[in-house]
Amino acid sequence: MIEGAGPELRPPVQELVWDERTRLWRAPAHAYREVVLALRDRGLICPDKARAYDPLPLALAKPITPREHQVKALQAWVAAGRRGVVQLPTGAGKTFLALLAIVQTGRPVLVIVPTIDLLHQWTDVLTTHLGMPIGTLGGGSRDIQRLTVATFDSAALQIERLGNQFGLLVVDECHHLPAPQYQVIALGSIAPFRLGLSATVERADGKETEIFRLLGPLAYEGRIDQMVETVLSPYDVVSIQVPLTEDEERRYQEARGVYTTFIRQHRINFSSGRGWMEFVHLAGRAAGGREAMRAYREQKKLAQASTAKLAELWRILGEHSGDRIIIFTDDNAMAYRIGQDFVLPVLTHQTRLAERKRMLEAFRSGELQTIVTSKVLNEGVDVPDARVGVVISGSGAVREHVQRLGRILRHRPGKRAVLYELVSQGTSELYVNQRRKRHHAYQGAAEIQH
Amino acid sequence: MLTKELLKFSIRSGRIRPAFVPEEGDILERARGLIDLFRQAEGQSLGELEELLDETCGTGDVEAGLRKLLLDRCGAEEDDGSVMERRWQALAAAQALRLGEPGLDEASFRGRLAATLGRGFVELKEDLYADLPACRRIKGFRELSAVSLLQRYNCAQVQGLLLRARSVHVRLAQASLAERRELFRQLKFHRLIAEVTRDEGEGRALVVELGGPLSLFDSAATYGMRLANFFPHVLNLPRWEVEAEVHIKNKTVTLKLDQKSGLKSHYRHQTPFVPDELLAFVEAFNTRQAGVWQASPGTEFVHLGRESYCFPDITIRDQKKRKIHIELFHRWHAGTLRGRIQTLEKIGFSELRLGVSKNLAKTAELKMLLEESAWFARFGFIFSEFPTPKLIFGVLDRE
């Protein structure tokens, strides 16, 4: 709010709105920096009662030597006015980059993360390297310190009270931010300095523009293909096509027929970007829509969970006995099916926190050598030494594949990672697989077709 | 509350109309059937119940909404951790077997593992993740009647839209003094920002404009949730109209409803209450001060700038219609009192008198706060059980 100026004031900040009820100018918290700068430019001196923090001198208690790409990324972010997004592949040291930005900026910081696992990881890193108390908000904890790590969900609920206490907002895995329930975090924070981190900012719905609006522009982009050997482990992508059984093939064709007929009848165009939404909309209303939706699910399930895929998975597990392996599926049902059939640990959003922690510790220590997951390990969770990834099924989204790839690329001398992709022959999975390979993330790999 | 995909409505000419269901006929029968299934579900797993519902009930949109409301009323068993312990034993044994004999085929692996653990493989497999949410046993269901379920469904259709509202305009006619006070109490409880006026029409209905600081810029989920939770209180009033601007499907549309929509509140309709001592005070005060001051129970909001506002307990007018509001703080109001004193210190509002009960004023922290407040020294007072007319009269002329 700006006190002492009537409606005749037309400040040059677009987001200032005159509130007739209280007869005050108002701006959303995220416009704080623009408002302060604009008032200063116009020579209007207002006591600043919005900001409830002071500069905070910080120093590294445990020094780190930044790598070249981290130095460049930091310089680019500083040059952008300490507002912006840095895109780096998983394993390229985004957390350390943020640590350097936090120390250089010297303001109380609120770090936002999507999961409890990441909350613990960030807290550990900040505690170790800054040697001061780190607050946590989320997973049952509410300890607010000048350096605080919060989950998206908890921050969204509390930002109303915390928004003015931090000068730097760091949003890890910031591609989640455009979700309406999370935007409020960036909108409700006055932090003049903002850093977004992600392995892939690009979103299928094009809403990365929202991220740039809320956090600042894309300041630096580091690509997987340019970092292989130096920052990330070299790797192979092995695509294995497996056949459907006769029965699976018949059911697949039947279901596929129902689905594609409906698509053709209603002229749904999937290349427009809105095709899927149009299909969902029509499936709920048009004649034959429900059958088409059922058929779509059936053909997808058959392609993703074919008998031959499970047999191939068993072979891969035998071949890589002794390696640390992550198996990725598209949904929880398939993850649990594999877990039950092969007696493997399954980590999903349904896994309770304590067990999830135990499972990840066991995986790190080698007590467990294989983990099956649907989406949980797609991003963020620090799994240092996995060498083998097996993609049983997934969406067509490039982000998901880049993130999955990132799980196995953490650099270790002498390590060569391998990502297996199991694709059902003669199904739409093949097209999805080929389409995502156009992304530059795949250009750094040796590709082997089976 | 219903999720977005369970909201049913039509949009025409910029107006959104929720698709309410009747509380009778076929849908009532279907609601009864659903409740029967839930009533008998105790002991089943949530997954089994879902399967049973898929098989026996329609898959229509209304059923999906009713199922969601009923599932929210189910309690599920907490597992004792024994499944997890067995799981970790099995995982350790399976890994040891894989590492020890990497060439085993699937069938041999299963046989050897079952033998090691002393259980059949099928049993082992079924038990491995038996503690998943879908596998958890239902241990209770909060009963409700079929009519009540349909009423909740209809109300939830509106609440779901209000979650996406940018502004809400509520017009209340014929609300008694006690009903208005109750509504204000609920507004305050739900932390909603409101502007209350009276319209010029017949009966001078009360008009409540709801919208918060963030609603000026964007719809905020937390605010929407408060708004949605507040809405059933409006339904308890005799005559109401709600007009909301709702942002949905990339459009901004208008939702208009009134008491004729037949919506029923599932919040208990507590008989609105005006304390006896307040009524006794008003009567005694008006008898003593007849012709000079006129007291009445407080019925309006008083803006204190920014987002602050108060609902005075008593409003006193003189012959020139000058108003003095009295707000009373009892011993359970410590938090609100702290905030109120801070606000009044800043804005120096002189049309309010603030009474603090002795019990509250004697706590060490508040005692210091009140002693240090210049505003309270001028406009505040301490009372015992309830202020006397004499005490109030003594503070009216302070400036």
Closest A-chain CA to B90: A343
List A418's β-bridge partners, or say none: A236, A388
| Spatial CB neighbours of A80, under 8 Å, sequence gap ≥ 6 | A216, A217, A219
- Which residues touch B5 (CB under 8 Å, ≥6 apart)? none
- Tell me which of B78, B88, B117 to substitute to probe the interface with A (most A C-beta atoms closer than 10 Å): B88
Q: What is the nearest CA distance from B102 to chain A, expressed in angstroms?
A: 5
Instruction: Measure the CA–CA gap between A387 and A182, rounded to whole angstroms.
Output: 34
Q: What is the structure's pLDDT at B214?
A: 46
Residue A47 at interface with chain B, using a CB cutoff of 8 Å: no
Check pLDDT > 50 for residue A351. Answer: yes
What's the whole-number mean pLDDT along residues A300-307?
85
Q: Do A340 and B307 touch (CB under 8 A)?
A: no
* CA neighbor of A225 nearest in space, from A410, A449, A439: A439
Kindly give the confidence (pLDDT) of every residue in chain B, 399 residues in length, as a single tens digit, with 9 standing for 90 and above: 888 889 999 999 999 999 999 999 889 988 998 898 888 888 888 888 887 787 676 667 788 899 999 998 998 877 778 899 999 999 999 999 999 988 899 999 999 999 999 999 999 998 999 888 778 888 889 999 999 999 999 999 999 998 888 778 888 887 777 777 777 777 766 656 666 666 766 666 777 777 644 455 554 556 677 788 888 988 988 889 999 988 888 788 999 999 999 899 988 766 556 677 888 899 899 888 767 889 988 777 677 765 566 778 889 998 887 889 999 887 766 777 888 888 888 888 888 999 998 888 888 888 899 999 999 999 999 998 889 998 998 888 887
Domain boundaries, chain A: 7-42, 68-222, 235-244+306-449, 246-303
Q: Where are the beta strands (DSSP E) in B77-229?
A: 138-141, 165-173, 194-198, 206-210
φ, ψ of residue B173 in degrees (nearest 5)? -110, 150
Q: Which of A319, A325, A343, A368 to mutate to test the interface with B (most CBs of B within 10 A)?
A: A343
Give me the residue from B59, B90, B106 closest to A314, CB to CB. B106
Q: What is the pLDDT of residue B380?
A: 94
The two tokens of residue A273 are 């970007």
Q: How far is A389 from chain B, CA to nearest CA, in Å?
A: 18
Nearest CA in chain A to B121: A341
- What pLDDT is attached to residue A442? 61
Q: If you average pLDDT over residues A269-276, what whole number do you get?
A: 73
A14 touches chain B (CB under 8 A): no
Structure tokens given for B32: 């009864």
- Give residue ranges of B with CB < 8 Å to any A CB: 59, 61, 84, 90-95, 98-99, 102-106, 113, 124-126, 128-129, 132-133, 195, 209, 213-214, 216-222, 303, 305-307
Q: Does A264 touch chain B (CB under 8 A)?
A: no
The ipTM (two decimal places) reads 0.71
pLDDT reported for residue B191: 59
Residue of B54, B63, B98 for testing the chain A interface, max A β-carbons within 10 Å: B98
- Residue that is written with structure tokens 């969970």 in the block: A305
**Do A314 and B124 lie within an 8 Å CB cutoff?**
no
Contacts of A344 in chain B (CB under 8 A): 91, 94
CB contact under 8 A, A318 and B90: no
A222 CB contacts (<8 Å, ≥6 apart)?
Answer: A69, A73, A86, A87, A88, A89, A92, A231
For residues A11-46, one letter each, b for 16 or more C-beta atoms within 10 angstroms of the residue's C-beta and e for the rest, the string is bebeebebbebbebbbbbbbbbbbbbebbeeeeeee
Q: Of all residues in chain A, what percent are helix, strand and coil, respectively (each to 5)?
A: 45, 20, 40
**b/e code A168-200 from CB counts within 10 Å (16+ = b):** bbbbbbbbbbbeeebbbbbbbbbbbbbbbbbbb
Tell me which residues of chain A, numbers 137 to 156, contact chain B at a CB-CB cutoff of 8 Å: 156
Q: B48-53 contacts: CB < 8 A, separation 24 or more?
A: B49/B74, B49/B138, B50/B134
Which residues 280-309 of A are in CB contact (within 8 Å) with B?
Answer: 284, 290
Q: Which residues of A touch B61 (CB under 8 A)?
A: 284
CB-based contact A24 B125, cutoff 8 Å: no
pLDDT band for A278, please (50, 70, 90 cuts): confident
> Is it the case that residue A308 has pLDDT exceeding 80?
yes
What is the average per-residue pLDDT within A388-417? 81
Q: How many CA atoms lie within 13 A of A313 on its CB side?
A: 32
Q: Is A163 within 8 Å of chain B by CB? A: no
Are the beta carbons of B174 and B203 closer than 8 angstroms? yes
Q: Do domains A68-222 and A235-244+306-449 have the same CATH topology?
A: yes
CB contact under 8 A, B217 and A157: no
- What's residue A431's pLDDT? 76
Q: How far apart are CA B249 and CA B252, in angstroms?
A: 8
The residue among B109, B217, B303, B308 with the most chain A CBs within 10 A of its CB, best to mutate, is B217
Alpha-carbon distance A354 to nearest alpha carbon in chain B (angstroms): 11
- Span A126-148, mean pLDDT? 91
pTM of the model: 0.63
**How does strand B352-357 pair with strand B323-329?**
parallel
The class (CATH top level) of A68-222 is alpha beta
Q: Which residue of A has its CA nearest to B114?
A: A343
What residues in B contact A289, CB-CB < 8 Å?
none
CATH fold of A235-244+306-449: Rossmann fold (3.40.50)
Q: Where are the beta strands (DSSP E) in chain B?
A: 9-12, 15-18, 74-76, 138-141, 165-173, 194-198, 206-210, 239-248, 251-258, 293-297, 302-303, 309-310, 314-318, 323-329, 352-357, 380-383
* Contact flag A340-B129 (C-beta cutoff 8 Å): yes
- Could you say which residues from 172 to 191 on chain A have a Cβ atom under 8 Å away from some Cβ of chain B? 180-181, 183-184, 187-188
The pLDDT value given to residue B92: 96
All residues of chain A having their beta carbon less than 8 Å from the beta carbon of residue B19 are none
pLDDT at B375: 93
CB B182 within 8 A of CB B176: no
The C-alpha atoms of residue B13 and residue B71 are separated, in whole angstroms, by 36
Name which residue leads in pLDDT, A352 or A75. A75
Residue A376: pLDDT over 80: no
